[in-house]
Structure 1
């Protein structure tokens, strides 16, 4: 008799791009002003071998730090706590980004993203304020809603699901994150009549501790550049690793919400791999 197959495990790393802020401390609208992102994006990255990815990015960082070419780059200085500590696309210089993307493209990765446009979100908040005098928008509300949306959609079935999400500031929101995941699992089970995994483990961590968080940051940065600046070459570069992007506010015809995937690329003319 053949031994049973070992339990299967999916490793997801979750982070965000942009911020959920709509108003300043005095309630004034920030949307549309300089310094306020146009979108808020949440993404998850399925990493087949987190340990191997961690080792590869650690080796790359050591190699780059030892390269005289980068010795005077501010973000590479240990005291700055940036690239010298972990890769972060916003802080890394272009030459470093290119090398990180080269490493990421060698690995078995699958990216999923969900996008909200702040202008549309602001309209929703105004309409709800008109209906409910006591309603007050909170950024955590948006984050939790997008976590549920991100995980309610299909992903491969597995015995165990391990989810690592990036801590947000100094707040520990593991309980709220777990609640959103449980809602997503319940919605999936109700819709398809099957539970995707017997066990779900959720932890909060930081990019220096988990290279998977460095990797998902790069995918999110690439997607954010497309939405914020119309600069699409980065998301095109990694498109082979993208499973789907759900744009909740884009309107086509009379339908609100568009799903981009291999059959329907995000960029017109983007190559589609079969």
Structure 2
């Protein structure tokens, strides 16, 4: 008996780096110390969010009960770090290794879009020369990457649930839903189709929606590759990678570089 196709998809979206290009005085930040060179948006396709969340919560309870971590600051509840939610940047190396071990046992698939902020800055300056009224907004880059990230992901099931990691205090659910609709329209235009999937977009925190913690770990591995030329974490999770779109790596093709399981991301351009 063949297994019935899934009715819905569950996607969990997070970012690495930030889309900020200018400081409060209007000075360009890319290339300056402390400013990330890249901005990345990643989505984790999680067929069974309940199972993944349960596994990560069980791991956290196990680690918090381990005497080895007694007194570690990040493991104290009042610090609101590992004791609350796994976050690769804050977690100890020993904790990271255990989280990666759990992630590799689950049927998840990771997709990401990578932008070179220096190239984005060039585009913004060129647009300013052509339109003096134009003012760059960080959400503009974020939303455009949402549309790019989901262009081929919204027609696969009748229902699509997209959970975005919260960004600041403002509720951007409507803007994110609009970016997803743009992605659907681009897919329809490209393939001359009319997809009817029901799309639900919402924002949440990693503590409330645990699979966001898993998305953070995949993004952290990708960020280490690009920002520090340290690839061992990305190599570890590569079997779970579906597609990495490096939009600004245009040496070979004007649309950028696409990295897949058959074409691994092995070096950093530039």
Q: TM-score per shorter chain, which class? A: over 0.9
TM-superposition CA deviations, 1:95-150 (whole Å, max 9, x none):
00000000000000000000000110111111111111111111010000000010
Secondary structure at 2:19 match in 1: coil
Mapped partners of 1:168, 1:56: distance in 2: 26
User: Which residue of 2 is the match for residue 12 of structure 1?
Assistant: 11
Pair 1:113–1:7, CA change in 2 (3 A): closer
* Stretches of structure 1 lacking an aligned partner (at least 5 in a row): 269-274
Instruction: Report if the CA contact (8 A) 2:154-2:197 is conserved.
Output: no
Aligned with 2:256: secondary structure? strand
Cα pair distance change 1:140/1:102, threshold 3 Å: same
Matched, 1:162 2:161: yes
Asked whether the 8 Å contact 2:113–2:246 carries over to 1, the reply is yes
Contact preservation (8 Å) 2:11, 2:43: yes
For residue 255 of structure 1, report the CA deviation from its aligned partner: 3.0
Question: Which residue matches 2:141?
Answer: 142
- 8 Å contact from structure 1 (residues 87, 214) kept in 2: yes
Once residues 100 and 197 of structure 1 are traced to their aligned partners in structure 2, the CA distance between those partners, rounded to angstroms, is 37
User: CA 1:155–1:244 in 2, change beyond 3 Å: closer, same or farther?
Assistant: farther
Mapped contact 2:155–2:197 kept (Cα < 8 A): no
Q: How does 1:205-216 map to 2 (within 5 A)?
A: 205-216=204-215
Inter-partner Cα distance in structure 2 for 1:63 and 1:104: 16
Partner of 1:258: 257
Distance 1:164 1:254, change over 3 A: closer
After superposition, the CA RMSD in angstroms is 1.7
Q: CA deviation at 1:186?
A: 1.1
In structure 2, distance between residues paired with 1:248 and 1:19: 16
Displacement after TM superposition at 1:253 (Å): 3.6
Cα distance in 1 for residues equivalent to 2:250 and 2:149: 19
What is residue 190 of structure 1 aligned with on the other side? 189
Structure (1/2) with the larger strand percentage? 1
Match of 2:46 in 1: 47
Asked whether the 8 Å contact 2:154–2:160 carries over to 1, the reply is: no
Structure 1: how far apart are the matches of 2:186 and 2:26?
Answer: 34
Residues paired across the two proteins, number: 266
**Pair 58,205 (structure 1): closer, same or farther in 2 beyond 3 Å:** same
Aligned pair in 2 of structure 1 residues 128, 149: CA closer, same or farther (>3 Å)? same
Closer, same or farther: CA 197–113 of 1 in aligned 2, 3 Å:
farther
**TM-aligned CA deviation for residue 7 of structure 1:** 6.0
Could you tell me how far apart the structure 2 residues matched to 1:197 and 1:228 are? 39
Q: Which residue of 1 aligns with 2:132?
A: 133
CA contact (8 A) 1:157 1:197 kept: no
TM-score (norm 1): 0.93
Measured against aligned partners, the alpha-carbon deviations of 1:24-53 in whole angstroms (never above 9, x if no partner) come to: 011011111111000000011000100011
For residues 22 and 155 of structure 2, the distance between their equivalents in structure 1, rounded to whole angstroms, comes to 38
